[in-house]
């Protein structure tokens, strides 16, 4: 990877590290499920305008509908688990467990995508990262069973994200424009999560306070639109395993923002487990 790619991945991780804090910070006004559904719908409209401007038409969507549907379902599952998990756990915890995705992706890519195989040294890194997850999720007197449940949902979110990465690299979407892939993900997510939020009554209880609107705007423009377009663009040009290494910086920023902005506590085993996972960077 060149310096430009590394710098862009650093910026990407910084933005995504703030994502869980932005959601959790206004959860009392807008539930996480509604936030993700609305931001996906609005960002989907922006991506639609961009795809049309770049000459991508509906016929192009039809060429990749099968893998597009799969990555859309995976994306919806990822953020559905994030929304559900944030009702139980801390934003800093969600940041760590969501960004276990590179670990799962590395395993999937090793099995199914030529050229993405792991070396013996990298296998040791994966093992170290898994050990870190076990330590971080170990029961602690500082946290309730609800937080542990939320952590488990964060782990499922990371697994879902990894699945979408493998599908993109394995199918025709690896050569498709980034806007096309993102369109599938945002549209499917909005179509699935907003009805769930409406049926469960979360949509009706939404309060659009100034802070909630600001958070929703940030999530729509910066995360769901700009950051994800950047991710898919980089994914087409560089090996997913290389990008995945940088992704381990996102939870570092997430824990930092959660602790500083939301005053979230940290247990010893969580800090030790997170440190073990991050040390996998050196492998």
The three-point CA angle 115-4-179 to 5° equals: 70
Mean pLDDT, each 10-residue run in order, the chain (283 residues): 82 87 94 96 92 78 85 94 92 84 82 74 74 67 78 93 89 84 92 94 93 95 91 77 69 82 81 73 57
pLDDT at 157: 95
Residue 260's pLDDT is what? 86
What pLDDT does residue 58 have?
66
Element (H, E) at 19: helix 3-25
Contact between residue 20 and residue 88 where contact means Cβ atoms under 8 Å apart: no
The alpha carbons of the chain give a radius of gyration, in whole angstroms, of 18
- Cα–Cα distance measured from residue 230 to residue 8, given in angstroms and rounded to the nearest whole number: 8
Dihedral, CA of residue 48, residue 49, residue 55 and residue 56, to nearest 10:
0
Q: What is the pLDDT of residue 135?
A: 75
Residue-wise DSSP of 168-202: HHHSGGGSS-HHHHHHHHHHHHHHHHHHHHHHTTT
Question: Looking at residue 99, what is its pLDDT?
Answer: 79
Distance CA 170, CA 123 (A): 21
- What's residue 141's pLDDT? 58
User: Which pLDDT belongs to residue 5?
Assistant: 82
What secondary structure letter does DSSP report for 205? T
**pLDDT on residue 111:** 80
pLDDT at 280: 63
């Amino acid at each position: 990877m060149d310096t430009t790619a590394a710098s862009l991945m650093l910026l990407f991780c910084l933005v995504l590290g703030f994502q869980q804090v932005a959601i959790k910070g206004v959860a009392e006004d807008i539930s996480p499920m509604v936030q993700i559904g609305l931001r996906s719908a609005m960002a989907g409209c922006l991506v639609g305008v961009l795809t049309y401007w770049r000459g991508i038409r509906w016929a192009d969507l039809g060429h990749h509908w099968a893998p597009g549907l799969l990555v859309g379902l995976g994306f919806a599952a990822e953020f559905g688990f994030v929304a559900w998990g944030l009702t139980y756990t801390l934003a800093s915890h969600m940041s760590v467990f969501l960004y276990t995705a590179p670990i799962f992706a590395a395993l999937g890519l090793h099995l199914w995508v030529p050229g993405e195989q792991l070396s013996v040294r990298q296998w040791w890194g994966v093992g170290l990262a898994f050990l870190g997850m076990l330590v971080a999720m170990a029961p602690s007197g500082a946290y309730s069973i609800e937080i542990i449940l939320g952590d488990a949902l964060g782990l499922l979110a990371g697994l879902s994200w990894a699945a979408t990465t493998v599908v993109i690299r394995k199918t025709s979407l690896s050569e498709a424009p980034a806007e096309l892939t993102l369109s599938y993900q945002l549209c499917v997510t909005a179509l699935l999560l907003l009805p769930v939020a409406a049926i469960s009554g979360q949509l009706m209880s939404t309060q659009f306070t100034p802070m909630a609107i600001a958070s929703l705007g940030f999530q729509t423009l910066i995360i769901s639109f700009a950051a994800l377009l950047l991710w898919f663009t980089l994914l087409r040009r560089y090996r997913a395993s290389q990008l995945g290494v940088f992704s381990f910086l996102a939870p570092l920023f997430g824990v930092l923002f959660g602790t500083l902005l939301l005053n979230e506590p940290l247990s010893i085993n969580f800090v030790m487990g997170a440190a073990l996972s991050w040390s996998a960077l050196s492998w």
